[in-house]
Amino acid sequence: MTKSRVTTLAAASLMLFSMFFGAGNLIFPPEVGANSGTNFWPAIGGFLLASVILPTLAIIAIAVSGNDVRDLASRGGWLFGLLFSVMAYLSIGAFYALPRTGATAMETAITPLTGWDGAGSSVAFNVIFFAVTLLLAWRPTTIVDTLGKFLTPALVALLFVLIAVAMVTGQRTPAAPMEDYAGHPMVTGLFEGYNTMDAISGLAFGIVVIAALRTKGFKPGKSMVRGTMLTSLFSGALLAVIYLGLAYVAQTVEGSQDYGSGAALLADSAHLTMGTVGQVAFSAIVILACLTTSVGLLTATGEFFAALVPKVKYHYWAVGFTILSLILAIQGLETVLLVAVPIITFLYPPAITLIILTVLNPRNNLRYAYRFALWTAVAWSALTVAWDPQWLSVSPGQALGVGWFVPTLIAALIGVAVDFARPVQQEPQSV
C-alpha cells in the first residue's frame, strides 16, 4: 500500500470517528463507568458491543454488499427497504441526532462555561452552530479533508489530554454498582450503547465513506471493500480506546455516582485537574464533537434524500434539514429526547438483524431468511413500543428489552430452510 493511500485511510478513519463521536458518545461512557462501579468490565463490554462492534459491522456490511442502506435494507423487500432507510435517515438526521448536537453543545459546553441561558442565548448559539455545520457540509466531496485532516485531530488531541491528565492525577476508586448495573451490568451497558444510535448511523455513514474514498482514487471492487473495512476497523479501535478512557476517568472522580450526567462529571474532572484551562478544554471538546458529528449527519442525510428524490438537489435537502434541526434544537435537549426514545427502541432490532444477516450472508442468497427475520423484528419492535402486551413476556429477555432476539432468530432459521427448499432467482433490490 502506498504512502498516499495510508494517509488517505488514516484521514478517512479520523473522519468516520468524528462522525460517530458526538456529544452522546462523550457523555454515556463516563456514566457507565461511574454507575457500574465494581462491575466495570461487563458493563463497559456491553457498551462497546453496541457502540463500537455493531457500528463497525454496519460499515463492513455496507462495504461487502456494495450498496447503500436502502439497497441493503431492500433484502427484506422493497417496502421494508424504503421505509426502514427513510426512518433511519430521519432519526439520525433532523428528527433526533442532528438537533441533539446543537442542543447538547449549548447545554453542556456554552451554558456551564459562560452562564448564558434562556431562549435568546439558545437561538443565537444554534443559529451560529448550524450555519457553520451547513458551511462545512456544503461540499460533501471534501468531507475527508474537512473532518479527517483538520477538525478531528484537534478533537482527538484534546480528548487524550483530558484522559491522560485525569488518569495521572486521580486514583481509580470504583464504588458498588448502582441499580441495574448490580444485577445485569452487561445488558445495562448494552442499552447505554444503544443510546448512541451508532449502529443505525453506521448503516448511513457507510456510503459516505465509500464516496469519500472514491474521490481519493479507490476503485470499486476489492480495493474499495478493503479500504472501507480498514477505515471502519481503525475508527472502531480509536472509539474503543476513547470510551475506555472516559469510563475509567469517571471512576477517578470522588462521588462520581452523585452526578446527574456524564457531562457534568467530565466538566468537573477537567476543572479539578486543569483549572479554568481544563474547563475551556472540555467545552472545546464538546463543541468539536458535536460539530464534527453534525457535519457528518447532515452530509449523509442530504446525500441519501438527494439520491432518493433526484429532482431535489443535495443543497436544498441540506438547507431544509438544517432549518428543521435548528427549530428542534432551540426547544432544548429534553424535547429532542422525548421524540427520540420510541424511534430508537423501534429501529434497533431490525437494524441489528440487518447488520448481522448481511455480515453472515454478504452474497444475498438467503431471500426468505432476510424477509422473515426482518419483518419479525419489525413486528415485535412495533408491539413493544406501541402496546407491549403481556404475552410478549414469553420470549426470553423481554423484560430486559431483548425479547425480539429469539423470535427473530427462529424466523431467520425458518427462512433459511425455505431458501434451501425453494431456491429462487434473484429479484431487483429496489423499485
- Give the pLDDT confidence score for residue 422 in this predicted structure: 82
- Give the pLDDT confidence score for residue 429 in this predicted structure: 47
Helix axis angle for 198-215 and 3-20, nearest 10°, is 150
| pLDDT band of 213, cuts 50, 70, 90 | confident
Give me the mean pLDDT over the 188-205 stretch.
Answer: 88
How many residues are given for the chain? 431
Higher-confidence residue of 368 and 400: namely: 368
Nine-digit cell string for 71: 439497497
How far is residue 306's CA from residue 310's CA, in Å, rounded to a whole number? 5
- Give the pLDDT confidence score for residue 238 in this predicted structure: 95
- Give the pLDDT confidence score for residue 395 in this predicted structure: 95
Give me the mean pLDDT over the 28-48 stretch.
Answer: 96
State pLDDT tens for residues 274-292. 888 888 988 999 898 899 8
Give the DSSP H or E segment for 183.
helix 180-183
- Give the pLDDT confidence score for residue 431 in this predicted structure: 38
State pLDDT tens for residues 58-84. 998 888 886 688 888 999 999 999 999
For the cut 70, the answer to whether the pLDDT of residue 312 exceeds it is yes
Residues in contact with 359: Cβ distance below 8 Å, sequence separation at least 6, in sequence order? 57, 60, 61, 64
pLDDT > 70 fraction of the chain, expressed in percent and rounded: 97
Q: What is the DSSP string of 259-284?
A: -S-HHHHHHHHHHHHHHHHHHHHHHH
Domains of the chain, by residue range, sit at 3-343, 365-431
Give me the mean pLDDT over the 235-241 stretch.
Answer: 95
Give me the mean pLDDT over the 398-410 stretch.
Answer: 93
Give me the mean pLDDT over the 126-146 stretch.
Answer: 88
The CATH classification number of 3-343 equals 1.20.1740.10
For the cut 80, the answer to whether the pLDDT of residue 339 exceeds it is no
**AA identity, residue 162:** L
Higher-confidence residue of 322 and 220: namely: 322
Task: Give the lowest-confidence range in 183-197, 200-214, 316-330, 380-394.
Answer: 200-214
**Residue found under cell 476543572:** 271
How far is residue 87's CA from residue 95's CA, in Å, rounded to a whole number? 9
- Give the pLDDT confidence score for residue 381 in this predicted structure: 94
pLDDT > 90 fraction of the chain, expressed in percent and rounded: 49
DSSP state of 312: S
For the cut 90, the answer to whether the pLDDT of residue 216 exceeds it is no
Tell whether pTM > 0.85: yes
| pLDDT band of 188, cuts 50, 70, 90 | very high
Give me the mean pLDDT over the 256-269 stretch.
Answer: 87
Instruction: Report the mean per-residue pLDDT for the chain.
Output: 89
